[in-house]
A and B are shown apart, each in its own frame.
Chain A
Amino acid sequence: MAQLTMVKALNLALAEAMRENPNVLVLGQDVGLDEGVFRVTEGLLQEFGPDRCIDTPLAEAAIVGGGIGLAFTGFLPVCELQFDGFSFQAFHQVENHVRRFRNRTRGRYTCPLVIRMPYGGGIRAVEHHSEAPEATYAHLAGLKVVIPSGPRNARALLRAAILDPDPVIFFEPKAVYRAFREEVPDAPETMPIGKGVVARPGKDVTLIAYGAMLRVALDAAEELADEHDVDAEVLDLLSVSPLDGELINESVRRTGRAVVVHEAPRHCGVGAEIVARIVEGSLLYLEAPVKRVTGYDTIIPYFQNELTYLPDPARVVAAALETVRF
């Protein structure tokens, strides 16, 4: 067992996969000598050489599009995009090709790529470095969209993403990268993509979160317990596509109340899909309207004001109390 940050845990997952399978490649700008802008690819160039940890020119569409061709020759490319805000420069490759090849060739050609990128706000970064575009990607059939919340599940899910025969968009919450350490087992492990977990059991209200918002939801649950005698259950979705509707509905049927928390804007956000699943699956179990605590339907403010935008425990507590006192 080692105590690792999420950055180190992701690095471990990459190194493990590259050791086990010579077809696993890492490509992106600055993944080599610079070891990635957040150092997730630390040591990979040294251990695996420049043909497997590949520093590319700066062109997101070519990193992803080139990855498609590499996959057709049997490689398993892990593409690193430097920030979520730049992923749109590769978006047409993802939309037009990465997600479609299996379908349009009836399984003859597939794109088992992993496209990794730092995700979300909270690190006082310059503009275009704090976006939360998961709903944009979750809307594209053919992709899987994964957002880990801590070091251990990040390592297990990245491994699962690399092993997955389909393309995975892998969002790494920047605010969690170095926020805390966690025990990570020595042996490689995987977690199933599309399955969430109960991060904190409870009986009065279900708080549904993922990524960096998991800790916000957990802190809110503590406050609800300590100060309001409300026992909140917290779900960590881990994937937003596929979405673990079963977990959500099972929990909401027990608690009768739900609050969805995400940092992305509210309109057409993942929260909207979660609420729809609850309405379809558990309407008659609900004791109160489902609440959403999210980013606003704006562009995320520059960092002097980003904490105003990002959900915090106080907003989650207030929303949970509204549902409990409804």
Chain B
Amino acid sequence: MPREPVKLPNRVETLSILAADGRVDTDLEPALDPADLRRLYRTMLTCRRFDERALTLQRQGRLGTYGPSKGQEAASLGVAYALEKDDWLVPTFRETAGLLWRGWPVHTWLLYWGGFEAGNVPPDGVRDLPVSVPIASQCQYGMGLAWGCKLRGAGRVCATFCGDGGTSEGDFHEALNFAGVFNLPLVMVVQNNHWAISVPRSRQTASQTIAQKAIAYGMDGLQVDGNDILAMIVATREAVEKARTGGGPTLIEAVTYRLSMHTTADDPKKYRKDDEVKEWEPRDPLLRFRAYLQKKGLLDEPGEREIDAEIAAEIEQAVRQYEQYRQDPAEFVQYMYAELTPELQAQQAELRAYLERKHAPAPAPVS
């Protein structure tokens, strides 16, 4: 009866394919369709340009609080690329790039950050959930979606996101626990961007990696360079394939960095050093992917100018559409139940009558 290390059946590995300096591990490099590579780059760049535009709009008072994705575009985009149309994606608000790939228009994102519920509605045929604001709570219904996929038996999977801060929440652990117990086709992706507003990753968990938390739930964990689009695609493809064929869940830790603020409501200078940001800037997923495409001869200057112009036009069109959007001010009562309760019918009538009085033209002055 000696004392020995416990042999655990699951693995934790790291994966990186495209280094920050542009070197590629050709053994691991996926063979991707050049047209797809160009489209991926275009989506990543759209996300970055949208971020910049959204920040300006927010500063001008034309958009509400905004949470940028800058620096994290590859993590969600790689996951989205590895999914099929009928798979599910459960995002937080930093998965803009992935959702753009899945077909969410820029206009819808503007509606969301502009304060309209319509910004939560995915386009027809897109099986994505809207963003979830209460941290990590979405892990539970992401797990439930994977559960439904398994019970339906149609080979569908669900990719669910949260951040490094989210891994401190009970929902994250409960969802992984259920996914392990029921062997669910869940790909749980943690975007470890190192900061939960002002609290660093080291204050969220004492474990060396987030990926290793997989072991406790009976699944494999993979720590991926989240700024490496190729590694994210390869890792997710592997996890999706495993999930689709009954192999159960995987935890992917996408190691990335929030190059910008948490949202427009905080100033990162207050809690983190500029030097740290400067260290991460050369590891920017967009720069890296661009260099990769240039080296492969898939992107040249005229091509870039063309893409830039297309994206600028797309965003301007979306901004116009967003700013022209009008909402029935009494609409918010409408969607509480499939059929309004008598009390809500009365409240809606009361509201409509009030709005009519409020907006009625002023009576003509009597002289």
Contact = CB atoms under 8 A, between A and B. Distances in A.
A56, A59, A166: most-surrounded residue (chain B CB, <10 A): A59
Interface in B128-152: 129-130, 132, 134, 137, 139-149, 151-152
Contacts of A61: 140, 170-171, 174
Given A106-B118, A142-B337, A242 B343 contact: yes
A48 interface: no
B24 interface: no
Contacts of A71: 144
A106 B121 contact: yes
A177 B193 CA distance: 51
B338 interface: yes
Interface residues of A, number: 42
B181 interface: yes
A68 B272 CA distance: 38
Interface stretch (A90-98, A114-122, A311-319): A90-98
A165 B175 CA distance: 25
Contacts of B144: 65-72
A105 interface: yes
A102 interface: yes
Interface residues of B, number: 40
A93 B137 contact: yes
B148 A245 contact: no
A104 B175 contact: no
Interface string A283-326: 00000000000000000000000000000000000000000000
Contacts of A86: none
A97 B141 contact: yes
A107 B140 contact: no
A246 B346 CA distance: 13
A96 B341 CA distance: 21
Contacts of A57: 174, 177-178, 181
Nearest to B143: A66
A96 B178 CA distance: 20
Interface in A183-217: 194
B309 interface: no
B148 A74 contact: yes
A106 B146 contact: no
A179 interface: no
From B141, B147, B337, residue with most partner A Cβ within 10 Å: B141
Contact of A92 (B134, B143, B335): B134
Given A59-B178, A61-B174, A104-B117, A109 B140 contact: no
| Max chain B C-beta neighbours (<10 A), residue from A96, A104, A141, A242 | A104
Contacts of B137: 65, 92-93, 96-97
B343 A69 contact: no
Contact of A142 (B143, B336, B342): B336
Nearest to A51: B151
Contact of B332 (A65, A93, A103, A246): A103
Nearest to B171: A61
A65 B122 contact: no
Interface in B166-225: 170-171, 174-175, 177-178, 181
Contacts of B146: 69
A62 B118 contact: no
A138 B156 CA distance: 37
Contacts of A110: 338
B120 interface: yes
Which of B137, B142, B181 gathers most chain A CB within 10 Å?
B137
A66 B170 contact: no
Contact of B143 (A62, A106, A144): A62
B158 interface: yes
A103 B335 contact: yes
Question: Which of A57, A69, A102 has the most B CB atoms < 10 Å from its CB?
Answer: A69
A242 B341 contact: yes
B130 A73 contact: no
A169 to B, nearest CB: 14
Most chain A CB within 10 A, of B122, B148, B177, B332, is at B148
Contacts of B174: 57, 59, 61-62, 65
Interface in B260-318: none
Contacts of A103: 117, 332, 335-336
B171 A69 contact: no
Nearest to A166: B337
A165 B149 CA distance: 21
A66 B337 contact: no
A243 interface: yes
Best-surrounded residue of A102, A103, A144 (most CB of chain B within 10 A): A103
Given A103-B117, A109-B129, A66 B147 contact: yes
Contact of B134 (A70, A96, A106, A165): A96
Nearest to B129: A109
Contact of A56 (B148, B178, B341, B342): B178
B342 A93 contact: no
Contact of B141 (A66, A104, A106, A144): A66
Given A59-B174, A242-B341, A69 B141 contact: yes
Nearest to A141: B336
Contact of B148 (A64, A69, A108, A246): A69
Nearest to A244: B342
Contacts of A96: 132, 134, 137
12 contacts: A57-B178, A65-B137, A68-B140, A69-B140, A69-B141, A70-B145, A70-B147, A97-B140, A105-B130, A106-B121, A108-B120, A245-B342
- List of 8 A-B pairs having minimum Cβ-Cβ separation, nearest first: A69-B144, A65-B140, A73-B148, A69-B145, A66-B144, A165-B338, A68-B141, A69-B141
Given A62-B140, A93-B171, A102-B337, 4 more contacts: A56-B181, A57-B177, A69-B148, A242-B342
